[in-house]
Amino acid sequence: MSIDGYLDAATDERLLLSNEADLDRVDAVRAECDAILVGAQTVRRDNPRLLVRSQERRDARVARGMLPSPLKVTVTSRAWLDPQAQFFAAGDIEKLVYCASDAVGEAQERLGKVATVVDGGQPVDVCEVTTDLYRRGVARLMVEGGGTMHTQFLTADLADELHLVVAPFFVGDSRACRFVGDGRFPWHPGRRATLAEVRQIGDVVLLRYALSERFCA
């Protein structure tokens, strides 16, 4: 996020917050996960590939009996997703779409050939999503945004750790998406989160918070 807590600009231009070294760190974290989840708006706006970039890391996963990249997961209530988006087109790995019940038919029709559509309830409950993912063999899930997803996973107390990277500039436009929206978070002045690590990575800083007993230092 920016110094003032934004994940993106309000304009159509893509905002680059991380630097190369941090993107490589993110790649290393991705390589240790079983699945990566982003909200549908991130699929539409950023068109991310969500694959492990480093060949060495992909090879290491395969040597451990895993697929080269983690499973890709998204959540939608409207199913307005393009089957040609990189989320679906990139990587020969399973893609899961948790869709609100009343749009499952539409999602199936539009995305059934490129993804597994799962009825996620009305609305989709992220607790249920994690339970279903666990049943499918996902022990470690990386949530990569956007703000709506962060808010739901954090307020539902589902996150074991938070990696917050601060880029050295301001966005200064409240039309842009913030790191989180409003909500009742389990960490507040009466219950402070544990700051587990602070690491400078070039011109950005990584703040790593331990949020649950399952956090591994």
Contacts with ligand NAP, residue ranges (CB under 6 A): 7-8, 17, 38-42, 45-46, 75-78, 80, 100, 123-124, 144-149, 152, 177
CB of 77 to ligand NAP, least distance (A): 3
Q: Which C-beta is closer to ligand NAP: that of 80 or that of 187?
A: 80
Q: Which sign does the torsion angle of CA 13, 16, 20, 26 carry?
A: negative
Q: Which C-beta is closer to ligand NAP: that of 121 or that of 186?
A: 121
Q: Do the Cβ atoms of 166 and 1 come closer than 8 Å?
A: yes
CB of 178 to ligand NAP, least distance (A): 8
CB of 74 to ligand NAP, least distance (A): 7
CB of 64 to ligand NAP, least distance (A): 27
Q: Which C-beta is closer to ligand NAP: that of 153 or that of 211?
A: 153
Q: Which C-beta is closer to ligand NAP: that of 59 or that of 157?
A: 157
